[in-house]
Copies of this chain bind each other. A is one copy, B any other.
């Protein structure tokens, strides 16, 4: 269960309105790597965490903080939009500053939200549930968390350079710091998983014996003239501590042709010899893949 405090985690006071920046800030609210994404990613990871204790608790601590980040940003957007010229007519835009504002505003912040934030990104694409992942495998999920915080901090840094409003910059400095600490945190939690013997460097920490050993250490050189073999990754032990990567120059495919079986008649695919279709000019029947479903299924349908 959750509780709310009316105060913001950190102050979100622009010195003056800036509708252009209010549009750009939407990326940090509803973008694929915005605060909504980390909020929901962490909440679902916490709820889906299979071991009680420090990992789950850490996830829920951070998740709960992130809801408050969405709150800060939504508040900042509404304040940046104060007095924004939503009702401007084309006739009126004779000043370049106004023209830029009119041209570059997020019109849905006015028409739909009445001067507030939307749950969308900086180009108006709505946030969606596929932006998050909560696999139950903590190593894979913590890697995803590092990635989300890293992309989020890169975007925050870019936005920081796009404004000179002291109030906005103050809030973004806080956001930058939180993104730094969270990147550190998830990286540290990955180390902890290894320390605790729960996971290794590769997710999941299983099936290494079953996987195809011959193909578990090769870089396929498929871009002509590639210099990838010159990277230090070739000279050092791989991060899993067990292998050395090898570079395959101009490798040949290992499989046969990518042919597929003829379709059932009732699917009306184009195929020589099918009902309603003529002789087979320039076409050849694919080498037949092995037969049928289980016998029981076959009996029912054939």
A54 with B112: CB separation less than 8 A: no
Q: Mark A240-259, 1 if CB is under 8 A from B, else 0.
A: 10010100000011111111
Chain A positions 213-250 with a Cβ under 8 Å from a chain B Cβ: 213-228, 230-233, 236, 238-240, 243, 245
A290-302 vs B, Cβ < 8 Å mask (1 yes, 0 no): 1111101110111
Docked Cα-Cα span, A44 to B143, in Å, equals 21
**Residue among A18, A218, A268 with max Cβ neighbours from chain B (10 Å):** A268
CB distance from A208 to the nearest CB of B (A): 7
User: Which residues of the other chain, B, contact A38 by a CB distance below 8 angstroms?
Assistant: none
Complex: A125 Cα to B81 Cα, angstroms: 22
Cα(A54)–Cα(B238), bound, Å: 17
A269 and B231 contact, Cβ closer than 8 Å, known pairs A1-B4, A147-B146, A187-B239: no
For the complex, give the distance between the alpha carbons of A208 and B264 in Å. Answer: 19
Q: Is the CB of A281 within 8 A of B219?
A: no
The answer to whether B6 and A3 touch across the interface, beta carbons within 8 angstroms, is no
A95 to B98, CA, bound (A): 11
CB atoms of A258 and B47 under 8 A apart: yes
19 CB < 8 A contacts A-B? A9-B253, A14-B289, A17-B293, A48-B113, A62-B219, A78-B260, A83-B298, A102-B103, A103-B104, A112-B133, A114-B263, A124-B124, A143-B150, A173-B212, A176-B211, A188-B231, A192-B231, A193-B270, A198-B283
